[in-house]
Every structure is written in structure tokens, then in C-alpha cells.
Structure 1
Amino acid sequence: MNASPDTNPYLRAATAGVRHHTKNLPASEADRVHVDVLHAHLTGLHQLLDQIAEATRPPHPAAGRHLATAHTRLWQATAEVHAAFHLLPTASGTSAECRPDQLPEGPPVLTICQRHLAAGHAIRRRTTPTDLTSPPRTTACVR
């Protein structure tokens, strides 16, 4: 499975953007806007990982299981980022409860809560509640 350097240019560009932002984000700038953008990135990765896991599972079941586990763990990380978003102060200085229809900043086209609910529906179609709350399994590298 040798991919040419130009096979996934958008994914590589997104990865480079995250690395650049990681190196250049002052700690004082981590606010609701940054957490919202991070959540959007995680939900996008979640959808991509879901597609890759589904395509990998039939020909390579063991690899598919590992990707499915990564899919679940990424969802857990996304859920924690969503929770953190609501604990950060708003423009008015208070935290906000999860209300997809009405956030203190006004109703953007797609709020973090709406995005999170949509992603949640997708993961619940393929994942059990037990899987979503179970601790990560460790695996040995078998290269």
C-alpha cells in the first residue's frame, strides 16, 4: 500500500495546519473559539476515521478492529472537548450549558452542540454505550 506523496494533500495540509497552530498558540489565547475549532477538527477526523475503518474491516479484520477502537477513543476525546467548551467563560464571563438552539454568542449556522449531536448520532449507530465508556485497550506493536 504505497501511496504517492500527492494522494492525500488536504489531510496533509490539515495536519500541517494543526502542527503550526500548536507551535504558535500562546497559552493565553485558548478560548471558546479555539476549542470550537478544535472540536470541528476532531469531528471531521472522526468521520474520516469511520470511513477508513469501514473500508479496512472486510479485507483486514484485525486492523479494522484497531481502527474501530481508535474511532471510539477519538469520540471520547471529542466529547471531552465539547464538555470543556461549556466550562470556559463566555463573552459575558459565565459558562454556558449545552443548548444547541441558543448559545450566548448567538446562533451560528452550526453550533458546537449541533455538530456534537450529529456526530453522536453517527457513533451510536455502530458503537455500544459500554464501548463508549470502557477504558482503552493496550495493544502490542507486532511489526
Structure 2
Amino acid sequence: MASPLPVGDAYPYLRAANAGIRHHTRTLTLTPRTQPTASPADRVHLDVLHAHLTALHQLLDQLAESTRPRHPAAGRHLATAHTRLWQSAAAVHDAFHLLPVAEEPPTDTSCHPERLPEGPPVLTICQRHLAAGHVVRRKTTPSDLNAPLHGHTATCSQ
């Protein structure tokens, strides 16, 4: 018998993040992709998406570590999800660098991104990616990182 899911707002930050992603997805899908006015992904969108993926990556890492001692099979599945999420973040990071830099300068001339404490925005994604990469390489083998996604073998039970 499965335990009931928590009632109420037990995970407010995850709920807020999911609401933000749903809103962003709806906003992008309101304009049909076939229209020339539809904007493709840009570096800002990919940077925000990468930040979300790396935050989820950190959360999955913590969940896998805390679950594995009591429930090894579930912990292994969470560790696999952790690896797959890293692969997604790496693909978004690669796509970010393949997109052109915005051609139009910022309208605010007083903006100096090089003075931000975390560095220029174009480097923020790389710093975040490197930090997440250190965690991945400590806990995952290169063959696991390059392995294709295998089918889900566990049966779902209610």
C-alpha cells in the first residue's frame, strides 16, 4: 500500500518553479512556430533554463543520497535521474554557446554587467555548469555520463 502524498503546500519552492515553467511554456506556445514573428530560443532563456536544471540536479543529488541507505533500488533510480538531468543541462549549456550573441545593445547605458558580483552574464552559465560538473564527476563514471537512456524496468504500483 502506497503512502498518500503530502497535502498542502509542503514543497512551495518546487510548486513555484513548476508554475514558472508552465507559464513560460504557455507563453512560448501562444505564438505558432510557423509565424516569422515567433522568437526562437535565445541565450537568456537558455541561461534561465540551465539554472533551473542545475538546481533540480542538486535537489536530485540530495534526494538520491538520503534515499539510497534505506531504499537502495529507489536511490539507484534517483541517481540515474541525476545523471540524465546532468546530460540535459550539458546539452542546454552547449546550445547556449551555439546561439549568437544579442545584436542590439542594452537600452540602459548605465548597465555594466562586468561589475556584477557573479561576473558577466555570459560567464554565469559556465561558472554554474563547472560547479555542477565537479559534483557529477565525483559521483558518476564517464561511461555512465555517456550511456544512452535505458528503458524503465521497475513496475509502477499504487
Question: Could you say which TM-score interval applies, normalised by the shorter chain?
Answer: 0.7 to 0.9
Q: Which residue of 1 aligns with 2:34?
A: none
Question: What RMSD in Å do the two structures reach over aligned CA positions?
Answer: 1.8
Q: TM-score, normalised by structure 1?
A: 0.85
User: Does residue 53 of structure 2 align to residue 53 of structure 1?
Assistant: no
Unaligned segments of structure 1, at least 5 residues: 94-104
Please give the alpha-carbon distance, in whole angstroms, between the structure 2 residues aligned to 1:91 and 1:106: 16
Please give the alpha-carbon distance, in whole angstroms, between the structure 1 residues aligned to 2:13 and 2:103: 37
Q: State the 1:118 CA deviation.
A: 0.4
**Counterpart of 1:134 in structure 2: which amino acid?**
A
**Counterpart of 1:53 in structure 2: which amino acid?**
A
Moved over 4 A (4+): 105-108
Q: Which residue of 2 aligns with 1:99?
A: none
Q: Which residue of 1 aligns with 2:149?
A: 136
User: Match for 1:83 among 88, 94, 97?
Assistant: 94
Q: What are the superposed Cα offsets for residues 96-135 of structure 1, whole Å, 9 maximum, x if unpaired?
A: xxxxxxxxx7575151001100000011110001100011
Relative distance call for 1:54 and 1:38 in structure 2 (3 A) is same
Q: TM-score, normalised by structure 2?
A: 0.77
Please give the alpha-carbon distance, in whole angstroms, between the structure 1 residues aligned to 2:62 and 2:115: 30
Give the secondary structure class of the aligned counterpart of 1:28.
coil
Greater CA radius of gyration, 1 or 2? 2
Give the secondary structure class of the aligned counterpart of 2:139.
coil
User: Does residue 20 of structure 2 align to residue 17 of structure 1?
Assistant: yes
Map 1:43-122 onto structure 2 (within 5 A). Answer: 43-92=54-103, 106=114, 108=116, 109=118, 111-122=124-135
User: Does residue 8 of structure 2 align to residue 5 of structure 1?
Assistant: yes
**Counterpart of 2:74 in structure 1: which amino acid?**
A
Q: Which residue of 1 aligns with 2:109?
A: none
Q: What are the superposed Cα offsets for residues 16-46 of structure 1, whole Å, 9 maximum, x if unpaired?
A: 1101110112540521000000000000000
Q: State the 1:3 CA deviation.
A: 1.6
Unaligned segments of structure 2, at least 5 residues: 32-37, 105-112
Q: State the 1:136 CA deviation.
A: 1.1
Please give the alpha-carbon distance, in whole angstroms, between the structure 2 residues aligned to 1:86 and 1:106: 19
Relative distance call for 1:86 and 1:106 in structure 2 (3 A) is farther
